[in-house]
Amino acid sequence: MAEKKSEKIIGIDLGTTNSCVAVMEADEPVVIASQEGGRTTPSIVAFSDKGEMLVGDPAKRQAVVNSQNTVNSIKRVMGRRYTEAAVAEAKKKVSYELIQDSEGR
């Protein structure tokens, strides 16, 4: 007898400010709560001076004291060429450094 595989369907809403993840259970979407119990998670990632990565609310809470290592509003420039006007505008507004990769993005 062939083994039936269980497949999960996951949906991700990657927002500029907040993100949300849901999984289909019994033909209904169920939002996966954050570690803090929220239905959405701030779209923020930070790196501490100890190399620890913080995501969501913990990253947001420390943003004021660690702004150069806290990445937010990155969706606005994802996939864009480094030379595009949107990237130049973003560089003026964010506290972290935006650098060009080997493919010009």
pLDDT, tens digit, 9 for 90 and up, residues 18-71? 999 999 998 999 999 998 999 999 999 999 999 999 999 999 999 999 999 999
- Structural domains in the chain (count): 1
Residue 84 lies in a domain: no
pLDDT score of 6 more than 90 = no
40: left (phi over 0), alpha (psi -120 to 50) or beta: beta
pLDDT score of 97 more than 70 = yes
Q: Which residues contact 1 (CB under 8 A, 6 or more apart)?
A: none
Structural domain including 27 reads 10-72
Residue 48 lies in a domain: yes
Q: What is the pLDDT of residue 7?
A: 83
Residue 41 lies in a domain: yes
pLDDT tens per residue, range 67-90 = 999 999 999 899 999 999 999 999
Residue 79 lies in a domain: no
Residue 17 lies in a domain: yes
Residue 2 lies in a domain: no
Residue 47 lies in a domain: yes
Please give the model's pTM, rounded to 2 decimal places.
Answer: 0.80
How does DSSP assign 34-91, residue by residue?
A: PTTS-SSEES-EEE-TTS-EEESHHHHHTTTTSGGGEE-SGGGTTT--TTSHHHHHHH
Locus of tokens 């420390």: 62
Q: Which residues contact 45 (CB under 8 A, 6 or more apart)?
A: 53, 54, 55, 59, 70, 71
pLDDT score of 2 more than 70 = no
CATH number at residue 64: 3.30.420.40
